[in-house]
Amino acid sequence: MVAPAPASLGGTIQLHGPWLAPDVLAKLEDQQRKVAFDLNMGWLNPKHERRIALRSAKLSRANSRVSLQGEFGLLDSKGVARNDFKLNGEFAGINPAEFVNSPKGVITGQFKLAGALLPVMRADVDYSLQDSRFNGEVLSGKGQLRLEETRVSNADLWLALGTNRVDVDGALGRANDTLKLKLNLPQLQLFGPGFAGKASGDAQLKGELLNPQIAAQLSLHSLQTPFGVSVNQAQIDAHLQSDLKGPFQLHAEVIDAKAAGVLLQKLSFKVDGSRAKHHATLQVQGKKEEQLIDLSTTLDGGVNEQWAWRGMMQSLQVRQPLEVNLADPLPLEAGAGLLRLGDARLLMGDTRLHLQHFSWNDGALDTAGDLEQLSVGQWLPLLGQKDLIGNLMLGGRWNLQSKGGLNGALEIHRQSGDLKYVNASIVPQKFHLQDFKLQINAKKSVIKLESSLSSDRFGQVQASGKALVDAVNWRLVEHSPVDILVKGDLPKLAMLGPLLGPDLSLGGKGSFEVRHSGLLVDQQWAGFVNGDNLSIRDSATGLALQDGKVRVALDKRQIVLQQFQFKGGQGNLEAKGSFDLSGPSPSATAQVTANKLTLISKADMLVVMSGQGDISLRDKALSVSGRLRADEGDIRFQSNDVPRLSDDVVIKGRAKAPVEAGPKLTLQMDLDLGNSFRFRAYGLDARLTGLLRLRTQANQAPTATGVVQVAENSGNVHSTYSAYGQKLDIERGILAFQGPIDNPSLDILAMRRGQEVAAGVQVSGSALRPRVQLYSEPGMPDNEKLSWLLFGHGSDSMEKSDSALMLQVANALLTSGDGGPSFTEGILGQVGLDAVGFSSQKEKDGTSTQVVSVGKQLGKNVRVSLEKSVNGLRDAVKFTWQLSKGWSLVSRVGTDETTGDAYYTFTFD
């Protein structure tokens, strides 16, 4: 919705003539809204009477124009109030869409209004429309009418839109008067978007204006409205005599009606008898969301001269959503500002209610009764609560009067049973309720509250309060003190963990107290929240904190975090801060310090961190700054992603969940990876070092500056990169961040050395557009580089080993785009192997056999492999020592022969 433009009204107002009877000339204009107003008014015969003359009043907005002329008499020549009036008006080009939310139109016509307010009210109305259209259809009408205090007469008026027409004819107010109304709306869609269907009906009203004899009928078919109300079919017939003993009939049948989320599949309401004594029945069937509705009731009673109904509700049966029955007939009285119920017993499922009496008369309440048994578990689904079930039973009683001030008492207590919290992600959790009490006493509008709850899961909670209420408007009296005290002892926080999720477990104990005294506007709050021997474990994230201690103080409008201490692994976490509610928007500050804190510890991730940070909230803007260092890290990532739609894809018919705007974030955080941070993912197994500076401004994407690089290989620590089925030593690995955090520039070199030709992979470009190239020393064609990378020899020695190349290429394809280990690496890694290959070997008789080999790198220069031939004649175990770039020793122990060889390899062009 577009906000209206601010007003810019300007112009002149002039007064001329005697100061007791001046003429007024005004010329005003609002150029922003294209509105103009011209006024010329004064006095008629001011020496003898007080009569205002509206000589001319013209109002225009865009193409809409209204002009008025008239008179209004205040006092006649004798000083007697007359209050007679006469007003003639013309309107042209009126477009309703400029003033209200409706279709466009052009309405032109005139009207006349004449009459008096004293000694009795009377008015003659005359109107006509010409050359008018609404929503693209012809709009026409004409009519006249006389209105008096007790009578409507000379009615002859009609209004039509296309084929839709309404007619009113006749008079009403005297014994022989008859007023006829006719409604014929066969094309409701002409009224605008959202309307559809048809409606028809007629009515005759005879006799007195306020107590007429009525005969009416109304039919609706396929009705649709833009207000969320629809009716497939409805028929209403009414016949009512003006006297109390005359016949009274009202029959209403509605089929498939929708409104406010409720579907009425069938509604039947019938009244037969007279106004003074009649019989009524009501039947309703339908549903709201998934809850079925099925009820029926019968009543016997009558309406008095003041149109107040008095009688008996003979029966009430509700079969859905909860079975309800009326044990005995219920005395009932209802009228304007009046509702009285007599002694009654209601059976609602397992709930039993004894109503002694109920009276609401002009805002004054007087009621008493017994809540013999309330089945909480049966009422929770009706209140929309689907996560709680159980057999909790409550009992209680009440006795309240509000006339001259609120007095009485309300008491509710637990009788038996318990509640359970159910959720698809966790096992049902019992509340283990032991006791619950609520007592409210009122005397001269001062209410006092006492409540207590005892549970093995929640501990003990007590609440008390005192306040002064306005018994007329049913609210707290302004500028009166309110006393509140809520306190609790939670000795088993471990019992709360399962309620928060399947992966979270808590430990320790807690206590709290919240107090308020004085005026609510002064916010005189005080109290504390304490926790001791706390522990938090989240198996999903690996978070594990223990030996915790928390101290929170509440001081007026400030929440102060005085102490927050936890241990994690061999380190600890501390925090202090405050949350201020005194300003127009909340503000907060916090300081967090970690010292060798084991933040995450699980099978695939270990993070131990130190550092400190500051968090602040000001004017709905969140600022985070600080510096963190990884004392130790080991992250193993394997992608389990499944295909999913992009965030900008909209599925027709599925409402998109609203996204709530959070606070504006400003981030200034330095991340130091330290000297012991291992990362294993995307074929990379490396120790990373470096410093990243993360920055984010409000409503902007995060950026990073800094360099992350692979640490140099030393000792038993080797950084490797798996490519084409081989593990390559990373000799250079640099990720340079200068801008978006997800697109660093890359400079990576991973090599297979210890052979005549060193071969490997070189990665450059950026994370979003990487360039991967084969690399060798000395340089050679890519097919030779690939051969040395895969097999440790040139392509001239491959013979018929094309199948080996196919396996490596297939493995690379299966690995493409996956964040986890490669196809073969995932299998071989389970049994401790890191390579597999195929080759063809010639036998002495000239035939060939296929040989499968699997291998394991025992050290940088030592490798062991197991060979298995298809014919079973060349099975062997082979050890290879790479002595230098050209020299290697190979020892082979096989079923065919045992050999020891020394190889020197060189290449030439």
Q: What is the pLDDT of residues 683-716, one digit of tens each?
A: 778 888 999 898 887 777 788 899 989 887 766 6
Question: Looking at residue 898, what is its pLDDT?
Answer: 66
Give me the residue label for tokens 């107290």: 513
- For residues 487-503, give the mean pLDDT: 84
Separation between Cα atoms, residue 907 and residue 899, nearest integer Å: 25
3-class DSSP assignment, residue 150: coil
Please list the residues that pair with 423 across neighbouring strands.
Answer: 426
Contact 766, 743 (CB under 8 A): yes
Could you tell me the pLDDT band of residue 883, with boundaries at 50, 70 and 90? low
CB atoms within 10 A of CB 433: 19
Above 50 in pLDDT, residue 99? yes
Q: 645 pLDDT exceeds 70?
A: no
Q: Considering the chain, what percentage of its residues have pLDDT values greater than 90?
A: 41
Q: What percent of the chain has pLDDT over 70?
A: 84
Residue type, 403: K
pLDDT above 50 (res 819)? no
How far apart are alpha carbons 411 and 398 in whole angstroms?
A: 6
Residues 166, 169, 173, 174, CA torsion sign:
negative
Lowest-confidence pick of 81-90, 540-549, 754-763, 873-882 = 873-882
561 contacts 576 by C-beta, under 8 angstroms = yes
Task: Evaluate whether residue 897 is within a structural domain.
Answer: yes
Omega into 321 within 30° of 0, i.e. cis?
Answer: yes
Average pLDDT, the chain: 84
| Average pLDDT of the residues in 253-274 | 93
Q: What is the mean pLDDT of residues 51-70?
A: 91
pLDDT at residue 1 is higher than 60: no
Whether residue 628 is contained in a domain is answered as: no
Q: Which pLDDT belongs to residue 870?
A: 58
What confidence tier does 820 reach under pLDDT thresholds 50, 70, 90? very low
pLDDT at 382: 79
Examine residue 759 and state whether it is found in any structural domain, yes or no. Answer: no
Position 837 pLDDT exceeds 70: no
CB atoms within 10 A of CB 683: 21
Residue 136 forms part of a structural domain: no
Residue 182 pLDDT = 97
Average pLDDT over residues 161-176: 94
* pLDDT, average across residues 878-899: 68
CA torsion sign, 642 to 647 to 653 to 655?
positive
User: Does residue 865 belong to any structural domain of this protein?
Assistant: yes
> Rounded to an integer, what distance in angstroms lies between the CA atom of residue 560 and that of residue 554?
6
Per-residue confidence (pLDDT) for residue 292, from 0 to 100: 85
- Indicate the pLDDT class of residue 642, thresholds 50, 70 and 90: very low
Q: Please give the Cα distance from 817 to 668 (Å, whole number).
A: 32
Cα 1 to Cα 100, 134, 193: the distances in Å are 13, 23, 18
**Maximum average pLDDT range among 79-88, 217-226, 607-616:** 217-226
The pLDDT value given to residue 599: 82
Tokens of 159: 């209004």
Q: How many CB atoms lie within 10 A of CB 620?
A: 14
The pLDDT of residue 638 is above 70 = no
Average pLDDT, stretch 430-448? 93
* Phi, psi dihedrals of residue 522, rounded to the nearest 5°: -85, -15
Max distance between CA atoms of the chain, in angstroms, equals 146
| Highest mean predicted confidence (pLDDT) among 137-151, 324-338, 384-398 | 137-151
> Does position 831 have pLDDT exceeding 60, yes or no?
no
User: What is the predicted pLDDT for the residue at 523?
Assistant: 82
pLDDT of residue 592: 93
Any idea what DSSP says for residue 500?
A: H
Q: Which residue did the predictor score with more confidence, 559 or 798?
A: 559
Burial of 901 (0-12, 13-18, 19+ CB in 10 A): exposed
Lowest model confidence (mean pLDDT) among 106-120, 428-442, 770-784? 770-784
Higher-pLDDT residue of 664 and 777 is: 777
Find, among 151, 154, 150, the residue nearest to 125 by Cα. 154
Specify the range with the lowest mean pLDDT, choosing from 257-261, 299-303, 828-832.
828-832
Q: Decide if 13 is inside a domain.
A: no
* 874: in domain: yes
Q: Domain containing 860: what range?
A: 852-908
How confident is residue 195, by pLDDT bands cut at 50, 70 and 90? Answer: very high
**CA–CA gap between residue 174 and residue 156 (Å, rounded):** 17
Interval 255-284 mean pLDDT: 93
Q: Are 183 and 218 in contact (CB under 8 A)?
A: yes
> Taking 80 as the threshold, does the pLDDT of residue 648 lie above it?
no
pLDDT of residue 88: 96
- Cβ-based neighbours of 355, under 8 Å, separated by 6 or more: 341, 343, 344, 345, 346, 367, 369
- Its pTM stands at 0.66
Domain annotation covers residue 320: no
Averaged pLDDT for residues 584-612? 88
Q: Is pLDDT at 528 greater than 60 in this prediction? A: yes
Average pLDDT over residues 783-801: 69
**Count of domains for the chain:** 1
Mean pLDDT throughout 587-610? 88
| Predicted pLDDT of residue 3 | 46
Which own/partner pairs from 561-564 qualify as long-range (CB within 8 Å, at least 24 positions apart)?
Answer: 561/590
CA neighbor of 417 nearest in space, from 377, 371, 370: 377
The pLDDT, as a whole number, for residue 585 is 82
Give the pLDDT of residue 741: 77
Q: Give the pLDDT band (50/70/90) at residue 17.
A: confident
Chain center to CA of 363: 37
Q: What is the pLDDT of residue 909?
A: 53
CB 864 within 8 A of CB 858: yes
